[in-house]
Chains A and B, each alone.
Chain A
């Protein structure tokens, strides 16, 4: 086993070598501009793009014409929210989303609020799921867009998207889904889910960074978007700019591999995740699962280790790449807003660690991680005044702390 171990696959994934192989010719030999219609270099590049678009559309049960390439899911989210609001502003000025969306959606929504758009941020239950009835009740005659993620990037919780899709359709409201963490990991069918727009990206599924897509429904209803980037009218006018053909080809290959391997891969990653979860939670006291026990991404595990601080814990296992919901690991010095929205106390939010199992995670790495986590947590608990107080029978919630 090689160190360091990469177990932060929600953040990004390595490029699959098969993806890199597929991309390479498009840097040097097939370097043409896919928009060049008059020579073979252009045709070759266009052929590569068309193939990729077909693979991507097939995985999500869409038509190839409904795939708009972007620079990544952040751009897709921005284009979906801002593009829909701009296009449909005569119809209404209300957007519904949730409080646990990725920052790309939350911050795009906040930017819209500054321009006078009304945004409802729906709460989630303690497992991180939004209640479809809350969505229904939040819809007004001014609502033009609902934006709810497929699976959460921190806790892996999968939202009841198909149910929300039905409500959106019934009420005639457009439905955008940020499926960045879900596509390629769990089956995604835009028809079954009833989504009209959907964001996803290559680098979460063993493809290259810098390329993503927005699915934009063409029929029933035909979704229109105001572009954010003007130019040569690429991507049906919704996203101008020369396509990065090697990245597009890599994205397509990554999706093709996911389509082939998902049935086997999701079972394997889930088994490794379950082993990691049990290996830690069965032997340690006062560890808490964040998220939904079953409606969760197969590779996701988010645990709070009471009485120890997340960043200190990461420091103790620095040969394993993980992430934490602790304030100390964020730029804002606030603990994870996702965990806070679940009702997880700030103390436990500071104590949270996210594990992301992926395609290249091995059973040996999982066993090593279990062992190292247990040792590091015990080391820090020995050092923790909170653990000592709890052991003495003091209820920490009754202590008057000097909040600073």
Chain B
């Protein structure tokens, strides 16, 4: 399958690749997907005064999954928490020219954004430890 230039660019030069400490103040972590399905995304946001000041990702998955999450971190930076919640997978599909067979990668990226936002909000409520979508048993 031929990849779009944008996917290749994100693959070769991933934006904001890395991790924050999960217990760091203002950090929300979302981990979605499963190894047996061939893709797992970890997306983290760092929020100050309701604005996402930084975002990081790590992804196990194909090039389109890597590009979707890399692009998501770019888009998240500077957005408010509410604005971030309105990012749609279809926008990612459009920006990266993902073929139909790769749409699930963009869905996963949207899920990862939502999971990170939920984690951030939950932490705000409980002031407790970070809870992830996927937690060790």
Contact = CB atoms under 8 A, between A and B. Distances in A.
A233 interface: no
Contacts of B133: 402
Contacts of B26: none
A335 B34 CA distance: 13
Interface string A376-404: 00000011111110000011101111111
Interface residues of A, number: 33
Contacts of A403: 34, 36-37
Contacts of B137: 398-400
A326 B108 CA distance: 18
B38 A384 contact: no
Contact of A396 (B19, B35, B58): B35
A308 interface: yes
Nearest to B102: A328
| 5 closest cross-chain pairs (CB), A and B | A401-B34, A346-B36, A347-B35, A385-B42, A385-B58
Contact of A404 (B8, B19, B42, B108): B108
A327 interface: yes
Interface string A327-348: 1100001010000000001110
A328 B104 CA distance: 11
Contact of A308 (B34, B60, B136): B60
B81 to A, nearest CB: 22
Contact of B136 (A307, A326, A328, A398): A398
A333 B59 CA distance: 18
A5 interface: no
B58 A401 contact: no
A229 B55 CA distance: 62
Contact of B38 (A315, A326, A385, A387): A326
B11 A315 contact: yes
Interface residues of B, number: 34
A399 B137 CA distance: 6
B72 interface: no
B85 interface: no
Contact of B63 (A311, A382, A395, A404): A311
A345 B38 CA distance: 11
B71 interface: no
Interface in A81-110: none
Contact of B59 (A335, A384, A399): A384
Max chain B CB contacts within 10 Å: which of A316, A402, A403? A402
A402 B17 CA distance: 22
Interface string A134-156: 00000000000000000000000
Contacts of A347: 35-36, 38
A340 to B, nearest CB: 10
